[in-house]
Chain A
């Protein structure tokens, strides 16, 4: 808050009429008028390249967002505020300006991130994706490390893949494209982090479930040739599942779901001994509990 007061006094001293008027209106709580005036100010050719004017604009938009659009996950005011802080940051590189703008960008980026969490479901996932991309863009402006960005990406992609899987599972025939989206999303995680246990396990399970469903959804009155084709395709999918499951096992040999999955894949490939091996590992694990 001290920062903003300092900024305000700088503007007052500069006697930039429109900006000063906007500041005055902001101080009086007249946010709509402050917004109208500051929009006129930054449209002025004399002020359009003034970093502090853009900072004030960002602050006014942020104030309106906080007052009225906090629950709007697609809030245009928040984006205007972020865009204004970003412009200010690029125009005026003085330390005080950089610190103040980054502080506000960090705050608004945090609201974006929290909205991603709130909206990452089968209905609003597209908004979540959009907000996450914006969150990433602005995170890069606030000295976020590459590793933090990567870890955020991984967390987001895993959750998104779960949503795609859920959409597919709820309507396998009507939403079959979501199975491929889920796989593609887990692949993205594996490109970022090949040793990610969750991505490996879930890729394995997606292929495994697909193989099982291929058989279980076939008609009962098919002929032997058609049955053989279905079996060939399902075997191919079971085999695609295996390396992911084995990798997950290598990374976490004591995870119940992985042992169950490996036992299931080998059982489905008619490899009874291997299936029993993992079943036994699972039993040993459960005895330890």
Chain B
């Protein structure tokens, strides 16, 4: 009896510091960007001369999670035999941007925007950035946080100057 009561007194329930923080928090930040970029391929029309071969999305900067999320975003598209394949590549140098239809410049690499603009000049390449004020500096689309969520600014004239057409639906969804 005494033994049993001692067990009772010393007994403590397994309390709960056991809920783990999600290791997928980084993914949850990258995924909306990937979904946006995949949607840009549908809302923007590239000229006929850009329709040869794979559609190439290049990421300037280092972000394995972004590469992974973008690859997943285009997976369904790429599994359809009739669809144009979308290729996701990591750009190790600004020199490689010329082969891209979309160049996504990660925030840490924003300083390279002018260099990228210089490289693509007359090519139909959409530049996507993620830093305040980048559309004024020549990016076609810039991710911004508005109302606590990821949204985007659109510079329609810049995009059209590179012979791409913006669907009115995309323009309506952009932050003004």
Instruction: Give the distance in Å from the alpha carbon of A270 to the alpha carbon of B15 in the complex.
Output: 31
B72 within 8 A of A: yes
Cβ contacts A to B, 17 pairs, < 8 Å = A117-B13, A155-B12, A158-B16, A202-B16, A206-B19, A212-B28, A215-B32, A218-B35, A220-B31, A220-B38, A224-B36, A224-B39, A227-B32, A228-B151, A232-B149, A257-B17, A260-B21
B114 at the interface (CB under 8 A from A): no
Q: Is the CB of A221 within 8 A of B19?
A: no
Partner of B35, one of A117, A201, A222, A239: A222
Write the nearest CB–CB distance from A35 to chain B, whole angstroms. Answer: 22
Tally of contact residues, B, Cβ under 8 A: 41
Stretch at the interface among B3-11, B96-104, B116-124: B3-11
Q: A165-B16, A220-B72 are in contact. Are A209 and B22 (CB under 8 A)?
A: yes
Contacts A107-B1, A114-B8: A221 and B73 contacting too (C-beta < 8 A)? yes
Digitize B70-88: 1 where CB-to-A-CB distance is under 8 Å, 0 elsewhere: 0011011100000000000
The answer to whether B13 touches A158 (Cβ under 8 A) is yes
Interface string of B15-31 (1 = CB under 8 A from A): 11111011011011101
Q: Are B22 and A208 within 8 A (Cβ)?
A: yes
Chain A interface residue count: which class?
A: 35 or more
Chain B residues whose C-beta falls within 8 Å of the C-beta of A220 in the assembled complex? 31, 34-35, 38, 72-73, 75-76
Contact A198 B15 (CB under 8 A): yes
State how many angstroms separate the Cβ of A249 from the closest Cβ of chain B: 14
Residues in chain A near residue B14, CB distance under 8 A: 120, 159, 162
Q: State the CA gap A225–B151 with chains docked (Å).
A: 11
Contact B35 A227 (CB under 8 A): yes
Give the complex CA separation of A202 and B1 in angstroms. 36
* Docked-complex contact A114 and B75, CB < 8 angstroms: no
